[in-house]
Structure 1
């Protein structure tokens, strides 16, 4: 008998694509060409990407590589789809990622490096177990081309999804924040920048626990840092700011203002700070709605106050939000974001107060100090990930809860 997995594991982002009546053929003015029409479904990848060079068509029940029986859909990205599959050889469930034909992802190489065997005498980094372990890799041939595939332990309980409009208990939030930081620390220690958004959207709990954020206990707080498709090794690979694909709400500002300069580890620190804020609070520190990139820059200035003078001078979109003297324009005055302290009250404390889980003054002071130092505009002025782990908030509040979680796991 295959292992049992809660049905909620496989239903997080699943919407059946080929539902009756969703597709219809219509005549075209060009002979021999048909137009396919379909109903847009929220939460489903763009169906037009199922074409040569794009996604590989997969249905529940398919068998890939004569080994992996597709059980259900877990999610998708810009360059891949992810499926829950039963490994019929080892009788265990795996997460199976199938890349688009034109995808140039180096994710498998990064996963191999991060999960490589260690010499017997080598010390094991405490964050090593917080990144996925590559189990298998292979290729499949389909109507849209050749697709690289790999499998890892299932992990599709998306922290942002289960915490949407909900709060983690404070002890759980602290432990999750520490674990996520530890995972980034391990990635950096192996010479890699995560390069995506180290946000809750890229952090998962192994398997779905059948509960939402407010029902989590300390034993549940074991994150896994996933989606390493944008990871790179700065010692051997140059990733320019202009090539950064991190969503604007989590993207370090040097990607915009120093587009010809290489990105490095500090860009992860900026993204990590936005993740910690979301884990602890209810609202993201910067807008996660689809807004112009310049509006995110304006919000960063509102929250963090003056940006470097040379960036200010070079900012082409500035006049839509600020006068030359730094005062907001009349049209922007009503849309300004609150400064850091007030943002914390609006996005974190107000909601925690409602459930009797407010952050105390000493902890608040330490956490805001950490946020300021992680969100320094200049990358060279940000903390390193090891300095984040050594900060007062991490040591006094987050680490003790993470240790409690580890005791529950043993």
Structure 2
């Protein structure tokens, strides 16, 4: 077994289920000696497991949401007693690398559109159950693995991704492990592999039953809604996720976080400044010249629709921003992102 790191936890990707091997993330640390599903459930359950449990129950009691499969499923909870202490662990759906790890270059245009629609659908799914994700950025968006990944034997897994290693630098505990890298380079991404999971619910909360003030927002500053900075004593809402979603969509479509950079420098913009905002012109520099080189540049009609969507998501007053459902109903999502998303479902394996 091997480790993989996330924002608030460390993960192990192996689980046996009777005679069939099923790979899932086991979030926790250290050696998992004699792990048996359902045994040694931890008494102190982390916030993320509470949220995932609540979401699972909501989905079971309703007709479900089309974005349900884009949210990791909680499979088990338990404790591990190892040489470095006792740790709460839980298993969730296995995935590959996060989108930040592969966003060093430009996503193929059809892949960027499909991933954008998937991400908006995942956020809409979480919101439909009354929750705010609270930490939305590309580090917390994972590439899903192909459905036939569970068909790999342990030997085949090691042959493809490498065997476990246990380095022992002097500054770490006596027992540790290096992460398993299941990712792929951006030039390997196609529509058939453009599937994601919205990860890390450790900052998620339900506004109907829990107040989360702006000052307690831990989203990275480049993706953080401005109300958390300028109104730190005001509760966050679902619309805070919408601002973060907009910055993520821009990065998916435009390679570098232009929106975040300019907002950090200029502060939040009044709506009537948007048309004069110089970052609009930088779309040509940051996106179009690269897409033109790859032969798949964004046409003017799509560019206008995408910028209009950004305009309606990046609004200073939270209550004036689009909802997640309205994002999915926008012209850009319906005319450009949705068709590529649907093609990705037909070609996925």
TM-based fold match above 0.5: yes
1:386 deviates by 0.7
1:104 deviates by 8.0
* Residue deviations 1:279-303 (CA, integer Å, cap 9, x gap): 1121112457xxxxxx853244589
Distance in 2, matches of 1:352 and 1:119, equals 43
TM-score (norm 2): 0.78
1:369 deviates by 0.4
Return the match for 1:171 from 105, 110, 132. 110
Which residue in the other structure is 1:232 paired with? Answer: 205
Matched, 1:81 2:20: no
- The runs of 5 or more residues in structure 2 that have no matched partner are 31-41, 146-180
Matched, 1:129 2:96: no
Cα gap change, 1:148 to 1:398, in 2 (>3 Å)? same
Which residue in the other structure is 1:191 paired with? Answer: 130
Q: Secondary structure at the match of 2:26?
A: strand
Q: Secondary structure at the match of 2:57?
A: coil
1:117 deviates by 7.1
1:105 deviates by 3.9
Which residue in the other structure is 1:402 paired with? Answer: 341
* Residue deviations 1:85-107 (CA, integer Å, cap 9, x gap): 34365532221111799x98410
Return the match for 1:342 from 260, 273, 281. 281
Deviates more, 1:298-307 or 1:103-112: 298-307
Equivalent residue runs for 1:211-226 within 5 Å: 211-226=184-199
Which residue in the other structure is 1:113 paired with? Answer: 54
Cα gap change, 1:366 to 1:132, in 2 (>3 Å)? same
Distance in 1, matches of 2:258 and 2:310, equals 10
Q: Secondary structure at the match of 1:91?
A: strand
What is the root-mean-square deviation of aligned Cα atoms in Å? Answer: 2.8
Q: Secondary structure at the match of 1:227?
A: coil
Equivalent residue runs for 1:243-392 within 5 Å: 243-286=216-259, 297-301=264-268, 339-392=278-331
Q: Secondary structure at the match of 1:236?
A: coil
1:370 deviates by 0.3
Which residue in the other structure is 2:28 paired with? Answer: 98
Q: Is the 8 A contact 1:205 1:222 kept in 2?
A: yes
1:209 deviates by 6.9
Distance in 2, matches of 1:377 and 1:135, equals 39
Q: Secondary structure at the match of 2:336?
A: helix
Q: Is the 8 A contact 2:97 2:183 kept in 1?
A: no
Q: Secondary structure at the match of 1:141?
A: strand
Return the match for 1:204 from 137, 142, 150. 142
Q: Is the 8 A contact 1:303 1:343 kept in 2?
A: no
Distance in 2, matches of 1:213 and 1:160, equals 11
TM-score (norm 1): 0.67
Q: How many residues align?
A: 300
Which residue in the other structure is 2:155 paired with? Answer: none
1:213 deviates by 1.8
